[in-house]
Structure 1
Amino acid sequence: MTSDKPILAIDLGTSGPKVALVTPSGDILAWEFEPVRLHLLQGGGAEQSAVEWWEAIGIAARRLTAATGVTRVAAVGATAQWSGTVAVGNDDRPLTNAIIWMDSRGAPDVHALVAGRPKVAGYGLAKLATWIRLTGGAPGLAGKDSLAHILYLRRSHPDVYRSASVFLEPKDYINLRLTGVRAASFDSITLHWLTDNRAIDRVAYAQQLLTLTGIERVKLPDLRRATDILGPLTPEAAGHLGIEPGAPVAVGSSDIHSAAIGAGAVRDYDANLYVGTSSWFVCHVPFKRTDLFHNMASLPSAIPGKYLLTNEQECAGACLTFLRDNLLFADDELATPLPDGFYAALNRMAAREAPGSGGLIFTPWLYGERTPVEDHTLRGGFHNLSLTTSRAQIARAVMEGVAYNMRWLRDAVRRFLRRSPGAVIMTGGGAQSAVWCQIFADVLGCPIHQATHPLLANVRGAALIAAVAIGSQSFNRIQAPVAATFHPRREHRRIYDELFRVFVRIYRQNRDIYAHLNRR
């Protein structure tokens, strides 16, 4: 079945939602963005207002439909930042701010939950074996998974925990607002670490894990496939979005999963290298496997019957934002915008500086790290600064540092796969920079395929999943929308190999210092 009407796709990122009109084949017709606030709190807290999410989605959608005149759509599909928690009351309203993926306040609760003897990598062996057998992974010790958020609320805000009638991932909260239905997809629920994922087509809550964590099944949403239809768009939601009611709403997937699909990385081993606020290097695989020591596992995918090798690094594009707001320009300079914007200026500076940035190395662990090491105490820094270090070297070093971190992860992925990844398609805001794409190609030593409209891979993926849900698309027909390919330059291999080895040594020789300075 095909449709000549576009799909309305929603992508809720940390910086705010993008809303787009997309054809069932994945062509972006038009899109809008509306920012939302991020609240960073003492003790590792990171929150956003779920009410503000919904308001921003409505503002962007109404601006989009007003500009295009499109009010009838074939379907609605949503994706959102993963590993977040919205505590929802009986009236379907949030009881407090959403706890998002950056929040580590649940770390003590996870440590207490997984403790036991004998101990392996910080986990009691019997508990660890149960989690790996049933889920394919285990709760992250950094306390940034959805399970950790719920445990934190139960300990620190027992009134919120008691009053919550359901805990929802950000994507699933958006779907509740769209349809009035409380449900999660097989992929979005994974980081609750409460599901039996062994039968990939029949993911279900495991009573053994509910008992182990003490979380009541009644406080959790029902489970569906990403390609199921959740229900029709309600009149209230339709009015909020500026479109006609009744369009089918797909269950959809979380951001990592939808980005891989939007990038066209739907065939086994083809990889999506995503560089946004955070970053990841993921691919679909035909097997269930766990690498506990590097915090990676193959978990349920948005594609029915498939697993997605899942990982995530905390700070990528966020490092450029930090550079802009805190280091390169004073407040008075920021008051007068650069003629073509900060990022264009940054690209010019980085392009004119020689690879290696004069030996300056930046470590991008500004908010801890998840993979290939999980350590919420890690912090970033510039190493080998001197009085002769230039602003251009600082700019390029930040880009190179994020690429070194990605190579560290890519090498762990290669060992996990027991082979090299296939095509590497780069998406996210970072992929808009040809300079950064070339740096990634040089540091990783492999071709980098820059996606067309790289900033919109997530929203494209949400639309394609919805198109599959209504029968207008199939996953085996999805292609990677490649705008350009960047090949590694041999002449820079030696300097990048050397600096990458030093980058890893900086972690190994300083991790105890970070743990001491940032313990809590």
Structure 2
Amino acid sequence: MSKYILAHDLGTSGNKATLFSVLGEMIGSSVTPYDTHYFNEKWVEQSPNDWWDAVCNSTKQLINEYSIEPEEISVVSFSGQMMGCLCVDINGEPLRNSIIWADQRAQKQVKDLEQYLTQEEFYQIVGHRNTASYGIQKLMWIRDNEPDIYAETYKVLNAKDYIVLKLTNNYYTDYSDGNGMGCFDLVKLEWSEKIIEYSKIDPNKLPNLKPSTFIAGKVTAEASKLSGLAIGTPVVIGAGDGVTANIGAGSISEGKTYCSLGTSAWITTTSKQPVFDPDMRIVTWAHAIPGYYAPNGTMQYAGGAFNWMKETICTSEELKAAESESSVYDYINKQIVEAVPGSNGLIFLPYLLGERAPRWDSVSKGAYIGIKSETTRGDMLRSVLEGVTYNLAIILDILRKHIDIEEMIVIGGGAKSEVWRQIMADVFGLTIKVPNLLDEAGSMGAAIIGGVGVGLYDDFDVINQFITINGTQSHNRENEEIYNCAKQQFDDFYFSLREVFEKQSIKTEQQNIRKYYEEIKISKLSGGEVI
């Protein structure tokens, strides 16, 4: 008798296998890490063999640890990192490492596409900007720089699609990962003939597109030996991690919205139509639920800015926590709570790594603006959380122009902070809800997709069996008024400084070039060569 659903979440740092009962209880999880290779400044790759080994190891570990029979697993489904490019041959063998989402080498290929399509035209087809992050530009790079590999490529896949291939011998991708290829018509839910024509990519190298609930096949005898799964176990293709989290966070109908607050952060909602922002500040994904879309805005450095603050400003708090054997966050949060909303006029720009949504600005920097003699340490700490939240609020305001949003679920590490959740409630003017499982949205989403795919569940409303809301925070009207003024100042300061950051970036680049040539001269002199 089938009792369990197995969900695999293939992230950037490793694979997380999670076992759920068909009633929605999380039984346990197992994480297997793998390496990421960073080189040539903008190149980032992973070995697909590492993905497969991680899936096999984590599956066996769960089966052994919880003493279950493989036949009791009713379905395997997936969430996975998006916007990759893995070339496999006609036998399904990888021809090279996968170029993953973080890789930025395909800058020339972006410009090649811009000869035929403006950014606005590209955005109106895909729901995303034309950037080096997406799969089609990476495949163009392989064609231009590794022609032998391109010629031998039978299909190009993303991470979860490769594991599905290993389990079933079938080549598919879902609409969300198709969307991440950057040559996908978001309205028609099919490959864009126009973008493929202008990219000069062979369309036969792209896999067949299917909804996330599609049963891609069954576990083969060979895959069973390696993975520990039973022969014939149904394999549902699942979706990219950016949209499986929609389901796991309860964003399954129009206006249902969540914020993932980790190192980066994003706000995503659910809509019946794509949202095309005239200024292209947000993107829209094909939702994991057929017939829906997932408008989204992702900022570069959210919890990352908080961590920067902890590591640089809060060294004394770190020492106190070590001496008292308590959490450093207790000392930090106490000061943030004691600081007044609005941080006594102090504004923090959280652009320590530039910014994606809503700025799409690679040169801006972080900044404290408005430091006065009466500024306190608590003001400086609180303003970091407020600055991140102001940036998220701009994303939310864009979404609200198209969709009614009345409440928000918050997940991720930042959701553990009660004071941050209250700041979000007050800045957004929304009720903030926190679920019982903050780090399982992707896995739960994949599990539910699998359950719907094989008919265990009638629809996606079953998410209510999986998640429980542990806390709710309402917004404070007085604080909301303070933050409305502060949000406007935050925006004004950014636009006032953008030109300054641009000049600073140009100057820094010139200095780096001079330094590079100086180092070459010194190197030649030390070798006895004449300059």
Structure 2 SS opposite 1:438: helix
Structure 2 SS opposite 1:82: coil
Partner of 1:232: 218
What letter matches 2:433 in structure 1? H
In 1: Cα distance, 2:95 partner to 2:364 partner: 32
Partner of 1:271: 257
In 1: Cα distance, 2:327 partner to 2:61 partner: 24
What does residue range 38-117 of structure 1 map to in structure 2 within 5 Å?
A: 38-41=36-39, 43-72=41-70, 73-90=73-90, 92-115=92-115
In 1: Cα distance, 2:502 partner to 2:149 partner: 31
TM superposition shift of 1:466: 0.3
User: Which one of 435, 443, 464 corresponds to residue 459 of structure 1?
Assistant: 443
TM superposition shift of 1:508: 1.2
What does residue range 313-328 of structure 1 map to in structure 2 within 5 Å?
A: 313-323=299-309, 328=314
Deviates more, 1:50-59 or 1:245-254: 50-59
Q: 1:115/1:49 Cα in 2 relative to 1: closer, same or farther (>3 Å)? A: same
Partner of 1:507: 494
Answer whether contact 1:359 1:499 (CA < 8 A) is retained. Answer: yes
Answer whether contact 1:362 1:398 (CA < 8 A) is retained. Answer: yes
TM superposition shift of 1:69: 1.5
What letter matches 2:82 in structure 1? W
In 1: Cα distance, 2:241 partner to 2:315 partner: 32
TM superposition shift of 1:413: 0.8
- Corresponding position: 1:363 with 2:353: no
Answer whether contact 1:136 1:288 (CA < 8 A) is retained. Answer: no
- Corresponding position: 1:170 with 2:155: no
Deviates more, 1:54-63 or 1:269-278: 54-63
Answer whether contact 1:287 1:298 (CA < 8 A) is retained. Answer: no
User: Which one of 456, 460, 465 corresponds to residue 475 of structure 1?
Assistant: 460
Partner of 2:516: none
Answer whether contact 2:211 2:288 (CA < 8 A) is retained. Answer: yes
Answer whether contact 1:372 1:412 (CA < 8 A) is retained. Answer: no
User: Which one of 130, 134, 137 corresponds to residue 148 of structure 1?
Assistant: 137
TM superposition shift of 1:468: 0.2
In 1: Cα distance, 2:177 partner to 2:133 partner: 14
TM superposition shift of 1:261: 0.7
Structure 2 unmatched ranges of 5 or more: 510-531
Q: 1:320/1:234 Cα in 2 relative to 1: closer, same or farther (>3 Å)? A: farther
TM superposition shift of 1:152: 3.6
Q: 1:243/1:306 Cα in 2 relative to 1: closer, same or farther (>3 Å)? A: same
Partner of 1:486: 473
- Corresponding position: 1:426 with 2:426: no
Q: Deviations for 1:373-430, whole angstroms, at most 9, x for unmatched residues? A: 323334434444679876655543333222111101001111233xx31431112232
Q: Deviations for 1:175-231, whole angstroms, at most 9, x for unmatched residues? A: 2333332211012111323233434xxx33233321111111132111111001111
Partner of 1:13: 11
Q: Deviations for 1:338-379, whole angstroms, at most 9, x for unmatched residues? A: 945555665455445443345443333343333223233344
Matched pairs, number: 501
TM superposition shift of 1:271: 0.8
In 1: Cα distance, 2:13 partner to 2:374 partner: 35
What letter matches 2:432 in structure 1? I
Answer whether contact 1:17 1:57 (CA < 8 A) is retained. Answer: yes
What letter matches 1:424 in structure 2? M
What letter matches 1:204 in structure 2? E
TM superposition shift of 1:266: 0.7
Q: Over alpha carbons, which structure has the higher Rg? A: 2
Structure 1 SS opposite 2:355: coil
- Corresponding position: 1:415 with 2:427: no
TM superposition shift of 1:467: 0.4
Structure 1 unmatched ranges of 5 or more: 117-122
Partner of 1:435: 419
User: Which one of 252, 262, 267 corresponds to residue 248 of structure 2?
Assistant: 262
Answer whether contact 1:278 1:312 (CA < 8 A) is retained. Answer: yes
TM superposition shift of 1:91: 5.0
Structure 2 SS opposite 1:70: coil
User: Which one of 262, 272, 277 corresponds to residue 286 of structure 1?
Assistant: 272
